[in-house]
Structure 1
């Protein structure tokens, strides 16, 4: 590569530089800035090519159509920035699918079908029920025995998808989705934030909670509606959107914020707002 640059490079020849050589010139800098090539190069190119594909109408002159569309997109971008027309010329907001569920307490997400209503014929997994009860006991600061009095497993709704609003990602519950497909990315892994007591090892020191970032696989998306109860300090029915996540035991991470794991830990139920 060094000999190629020394012996061949010339400003007059730059326009005829083969694309393969041009790409090779950027690989080292790209890896240094953003990590392995497969982690960032293929995905942007797939997205960009996906935007171009619908506009290739001519089989005889496909590249002319591609060139024209690329120029039009660039001109539109300049017009939006110059005249502050992002809202008018930007892509329209897509409506949520029929049957989607939103709640005023959760302004950042919406649940998408399919969904399953638990019943005697289709009961809630007992292990998941215990995890939910533990989560509710922590939330309402009550003993597990009191939570059990007001928790009915048949009132739990299970959803397959959760959509982050305002252009966010769509995450899937692994328990209700087929994960055996090889032609799509695994959207069941999520990142969430918990408050951890950094003084937990020291019993004589007061607790001090700090946010900790955790990674795991989203197993279940649950809607739980605790009834009005003086012991829970609820004057009306409450609505909670909970996520059951199997934690990934992170073994290593680097400066590029890439995390590695080999083993998975237990399942914990957290509020959906933390994801």
Structure 2
């Protein structure tokens, strides 16, 4: 944890041009103060569009670095910085050097690795280390302070992983957080346990008051004595949708009563495409009512909120409604005489509704009995990729219905130079994957 935090601090000081008052040396690599201030402002604004499950809110990196914690440095360095630092350096090689370091960080904290991956990681660390010396040390005696111990320690990380196991199994995050909680609670050195007991009682009374004042019985952690023993209703189809669990709030919708004819037609278009029938035939298989759910939990991953179906709105709420999904698309769709050539495409959009629809039996569609489907009503983003591989958009295209099996991940967004750029947690920060030794 300290190795990560100190390395990120050193890089930020180098980029801001205030690392031990050494300056840039023979070639300018620091970011202009005006641009650095804009990066700090963009960081604060991005907090509202990055889901809270991705990590804590980040302070202004240009003005409030003193409030940055180890977690803040990790979140900013791996999610915010790769987007906000694009095109900010005099030469792109400094940005590519930063991306190489972030790739090393993500692989070092991975939950599993094999011999081939560690061999490649060792090679990349040495290459990164050589670049670091050439760019910042510049092989000049007066710039030797840039080669701090925390830089050299990275050369030994792969050896440590092979000797002691993955870094996540013995890093300091949990211990540091627990110790900090204890220290803040103790106000008497003579009677420390009395102070701890008083603090626990105060927290319990505070939570009781908040729970009753705002009717938050369903939001209390299960480990708490105040937890409501009757959990809210969920929906999980283990056969068709093993990766998805639908969560409250739940509501029944009527197409006619609620004025949702456009939604019904989008469902019909989806069914017609899947079963290769006309929209009129597909329309006959749609029931009069459907069930709308507010949220969906992806297995071993995040909870996605629907824009319309989850009405909870708070002043400081962070947006968790944008998703990444994949669909099979015919490459030759524009040419009717060519054979079908299906290919998986990646799409991004805002999840407006999560629907559970029980399709009626239909002989033309090959459905002999009622078939429950989880459908996602998504407002598609007009997405394109930049020179560094990031997906970005500035406008929406249209709304479409996709099957729940297409959902891949919850994503965040950062507004950078008048375009929204998508952020997705990668590697160990996205899924916990435990693999047997065999």
Q: TM-score, normalised by structure 1?
A: 0.67
1:209 alignment partner, one of 328, 337, 342: 342
Query: Which one of the candidate residues 220, 230, 233 is aligned to 1:99?
Result: 233
Give distance in 1, aligned partners of 2:6 and 2:284: 70
Identify, as 1 or 2, the structure richer in strand. 1
Would you say 1:198 and 2:331 are equivalent positions? yes
Contact kept? 2:255, 2:288, Cα under 8 Å: no
Confirm whether residue 270 of structure 1 aligns to residue 255 of structure 2.
Answer: no
**Residues 361 and 367, structure 2, Cα contact 8 Å, conserved in 1:** yes
1:25 aligns with 2:10: yes
Q: d(CA) in 2 for partners of 1:198 and 1:28? A: 48
Correspondence 1:261 to 2:389 = no
CA distance in 2, matches of 1:26, 1:218: 37
Please tell me whether the aligned partners of residues 234 and 247 of structure 2 are also in contact (alpha carbons under 8 angstroms).
yes
Q: Is the 8 A contact 2:376 2:404 kept in 1?
A: yes
Pair 1:58-2:159 in alignment: no
SS at match of 1:234: coil
Distance 1:260 1:163 in 2: 25
Contact 2:255–2:261 (Cα < 8 Å) also in 1: no
* Cα offset, 1:111, TM superposition: 0.5
1:139 to 270, 274, 284: 274
Q: 119-128 vs 195-204, which deviates more?
A: 119-128
Within the alignment, does 1:230 sit opposite 2:215 as a pair?
no
Q: Corresponding residue for 1:128?
A: 263
Partners of 1:272 and 1:96 lie apart in 2 by 27
SS in 2 for 1:175: coil
Distance 2:230 2:338 in 1: 48
- Separation in 2 of the partners of 1:229 and 1:182? 47
SS of the aligned residue for 2:10 comes to helix
Structure 2: gaps (5+ residues): 17-38, 47-53, 58-69, 76-172, 193-222, 224-228, 408-438
Gap regions ≥5 residues in structure 1: 1-19, 65-91
1:45 correspondence with 2:102: no
- SS of residue paired to 2:370: coil
Q: Contact 1:251–1:262 at 8 Å: present in 2 too?
A: no
Q: Map of 1:151-166 to 2, 5 A cutoff?
A: 151-154=286-289, 156-165=290-299
Contact 1:118 1:124 in 2 (8 A): no
Distance change >3 Å, CA 195–CA 60, structure 1 → 2? farther
Q: Residue 101 of structure 1: SS of its match in structure 2? A: coil
Shift of 1:105: 1.1
**CA separation in 1, counterparts of 2:400 and 2:235?**
23
Could you say if the C-alpha distance between residues 224 and 120 of structure 1 is closer, same or farther in structure 2, counting changes exceeding 3 Å? closer
RMSD, aligned CA: 3.8
CA-CA distance at 1:178 after TM superposition = 4.1
C-alpha spacing 1:41/1:97, structure 2 compared with 1 (3 Å): closer
**In 2, are the aligned partners of 1:225 and 1:238 still within 8 Å (CA)?**
yes
Aligned pairs, number: 220
Q: How far apart in 2 are the matches of 1:124 and 1:27?
A: 53
Residue 24 of structure 1 deviates from its aligned partner by 3.9
- Aligned equivalents of 1:105 and 1:151: distance in 2? 19
Change (3 A) 1:24 1:113: closer
Following the alignment from structure 1 to structure 2, what is the Cα–Cα distance between the partners of residues 160 and 117? 12
Aligned to 1:114: 249
Q: Is the contact made by 2:384 and 2:393 (CA closer than 8 Å) also made in structure 1?
A: yes
Q: How far does the alpha carbon of each residue in 1:253-275 deviate from its partner, in whole angstroms, 9 at most, with x for none?
A: 353x5322110110010001110
Greater relative contact order (Cα < 8 A, sep 6+): 2
Separation in structure 2 between the aligned mates of residue 111 and residue 204 of structure 1, nearest angstrom: 41
- Which is further off, 216-225 or 111-120? 111-120
Residue of structure 1 aligned with 2:378, choices 232, 241, 245: 245
**What is the DSSP-based 3-state SS (H/G/I as helix, E as strand, rest coil) of the residue aligned with 1:233?**
coil
